[in-house]
Amino acid sequence: MIELQDMGFTYPGSAKPLFANLGLNVPAGTICGLLGPNGAGKSTLLKMLAGLIFPHHGTCRVLGTAPALREPDLLADIFLLPEITFVPAIRINTYLARYASFYPKFDYAVFARVVAEFELDINQKLHLMSLGQKKKFLLAFGIATNTRLLLMDEPTNGLDIRGKSQLRQILVAHYDSERSFIISTHQVHDLDGLIDSLAILSDGRILLHETMDSLSTRFSVETLNRVPDDAIYYEENLGGFAVIKSNSTGTESRLDLGLLYGMVTMQQEQGTIAFTQETHL
């Protein structure tokens, strides 16, 4: 679905490359969470996958084609929900009439169902909506396009608690083995229980990309009163210490994404990162 190899990119005027030799492979039928600190290049990566920014070197292929070619057939199979949402000053049904036909697999029934689930008024003018409503509308449209790749940049920004819950249910309900969702966010807990693989991007490279199944058999998370000697990483919380340890039992453990992210970034800072690109995928 997505193949990146030795991909490099530097913003004009910047001395330091954003991506030096970035590599990532995402198979079809994946909900991948993309995490990383501010300025790591998460949004840039999504724009690159959508053919909005072109890599300076290396390979970037999406659905077998280079997005930089901006082939209309490829663009009709990718939907990007950007962080800053722009919608034209028209009603939902007008938007549908104007833009849905660009997507050959657009499902009007799915759109109507998701819009109803998000409690949006089909006659409402888009530019008069709140940020959360605009996001909900674009998510409904993106889901209904049935594109094989749905890229979401901070999709939960502006969504209320109920909206976040609805989003998770809708994404799970409309994902299949032919379709992949890439979700970039700072809100790691919004991804808990939703994603089946995790990619952490920092300093222009992928620090970790692994399935949640694999991670949960390698690591376990426990809340303890004290930090054990074999702790790989811990954070103090109200109940004691949330600790990541090696999973010696071999049974899957429920992971805390925030804790996992903290562990990876700490290991990166210490230079003891235990992961390589494309581990276990």
Partner 1 sequence: MNNLRWPRFQRLFLNDLQTQGRKILMGSAGALVVGVLLYLTVMSGPNGDVLLYRAFFIIAMYAGGLTLTSMIFSDMHHPDERYFYLMQPVSNFERILSRYLISGPLFHVYFVALYYVFEMVARVLSNLFFGQAAQFFDYRDSVIQGASRLYLVAHAVVLLGAIYFRSYALAKTILSLAGLVLACITVLWFSMRLVFWDYFPSLFAFAPANEPATSFHPANWPTYIHWFIAVALYLWVLFIAYTTLQDHEA
Rounded CA gap, 191 and 193, in Å?
Answer: 6
Is 25 exposed, middle or buried (CB count within 10 Å of its CB: 0-12, 13-18, 19+)? middle
Rule CB under 8 A: choose which of 4, 34, 80, 259 binds partner 1. Answer: 80
**Count of chain residues binding partner 1 (CB under 8 A):** 25
Pick between residue 71 and residue 196 the one whose CB is nearest to partner 1.
71
Determine, following the binding rule CB under 8 A, whether residue 71 of this chain makes contact with partner 1: yes
Contact criterion met (CB below 8 Å) for 213 and 253: no
Instruction: Reduce the DSSP state of residue 48 to 3 states and report it.
Output: helix
* Residues 99-128 within binding reach of partner 1 (CB under 8 A): 99, 101-103
| Least distance (Å) between residue 89 CB and partner 1 | 9
Determine, following the binding rule CB under 8 A, whether residue 73 of this chain makes contact with partner 1: yes
Backbone angles phi, psi at 223, to 5 degrees: -105, 120
| Least distance (Å) between residue 12 CB and partner 1 | 11
Which element (helix H / strand E) includes 116? helix 108-117
Rule CB under 8 A: choose which of 54, 110, 275, 278 binds partner 1. Answer: 54
Closest residue by Cα to residue 33 from 188, 237, 246: 188
Rounded CA gap, 44 and 67, in Å?
Answer: 13
Determine, following the binding rule CB under 8 A, whether residue 52 of this chain makes contact with partner 1: yes
Determine, following the binding rule CB under 8 A, whether residue 82 of this chain makes contact with partner 1: yes
Q: Which residues bind partner 1 (CB under 8 A)?
A: 50-52, 54, 68, 70-76, 78-80, 82, 84, 86-88, 98-99, 101-103
